[in-house]
Amino acid sequence: MRTKTELVYTGRYTDWTREAILAEVEKQMKPSRFQHVLRVEACSIALAKKYGASLEACSLAALLHDFAKEHDAKSMKKIVLSQALDSEMTGYGSEIMHGPVGAYHAEKVFGIMDRAILDAIRQHTIGGEVMTLIGKVLFIADYIEPGRTFTGVDEARRLAEISLDEAAYFKIEKTIIHLVKKELPIYPGTIHVYNSWIQRKVGNSE
């Protein structure tokens, strides 16, 4: 069984059916990653129901979020440069580029124009200084889908039951700690997002 949702698209965001999107997404990646995408969609729909986001928008953002993940770095770089995205991304590899490049494909291939869906896909790896509800749903669903097993994921799942913002802040903080521990380079955009969330958090508690 490939599909776990009864969701039928209204045509509001794309002419593509959910089935046609699944077939196209499946072509872009290995089977295990496609299963991850389906789990992120199921998890996004559950969060969307809980927090009152559009199920259709969250489904689309989830299905397309890792569209570019396995594309070669050279083609991603080309898109980053031709679309005048932050050229600094090209120094941080596909992990940093696949969100923004995925958003480009969502628009070009699937005709999605909705800003919140495109931003959610664009921001899904590092988050954003400002995020919409759809963006937060995808950001958290990608982090806590049932296939994730890292230390701390249960705490992230618990926080997601209480507050999307708390869960988002947790992911932003833990990701920085993880990158430092692994001695991985941190893309400046990742730091900007952390700074803006921590400043809001401290500001709120004063």
Give contact residues for ligand GDP (rule: CB under 6 A).
36, 66, 69, 92, 95-96, 124-126, 142, 175, 178-179, 184-187, 190
Q: Whose CA is closest to 3, among 30, 21, 27?
A: 21
In the block, residue with structure tokens 């800003």: 115
- Note whether 63 and 9 are within 8 A (CB): no
The answer to the question of residue 119 lying near Fe ion (CB under 5 A) is: no
Residue number, 22 or 189, with CB nearest to ligand GDP: 189
Q: Would you give the binding string for Fe ion spanning residues 136-165, x where CB under 5 A is met?
A: ------x-----------------------
Structure tokens, 190: 């990742």
- Note whether 134 and 53 are within 8 A (CB): yes
Residue number, 9 or 179, with CB nearest to ligand GDP: 179
The rounded distance, in Å, linking the Cα atoms of 175 and 172 is: 5
Q: Whose CA is closest to 103, among 92, 128, 91?
A: 128
How many residues interact with Fe ion (rule CB under 5 A)? 2
Q: Residue 187's binding partner, choosing from Fe ion, ligand GDP, none, with beta-carbon cut-off 5 to 8 A by kind?
A: ligand GDP
Residue number, 111 or 147, with CB nearest to ligand GDP: 147
Residue number, 158 or 178, with CB nearest to ligand GDP: 178
The rounded distance, in Å, linking the Cα atoms of 72 and 49 is: 35
Query: In the complex, what is the shortest distance from the CB of residue 63 to Fe ion, in angstroms, rounded to a whole number?
Result: 11
Q: Virtual CA dihedral for 196, 89, 66, 30, nearest 10 degrees?
A: -140
Q: Would you give the binding string for Fe ion spanning residues 61-100, x where CB under 5 A is met?
A: -----x----------------------------------
Q: Residue 190's binding partner, choosing from ligand GDP, Fe ion, none, with beta-carbon cut-off 5 to 8 A by kind?
A: ligand GDP
Q: Residue 92's binding partner, choosing from Fe ion, ligand GDP, none, with beta-carbon cut-off 5 to 8 A by kind?
A: ligand GDP
Exposed/middle/buried for residue 152 (C-beta within 10 Å: 0-12, 13-18, 19+): middle
Query: In the complex, what is the shortest distance from the CB of residue 77 to Fe ion, in angstroms, rounded to a whole number?
Result: 17
Contacts of 166 (CB under 8 A, 6+ apart): 159
Give me the residues that bind Fe ion (CB under 5 A), please.
66, 142
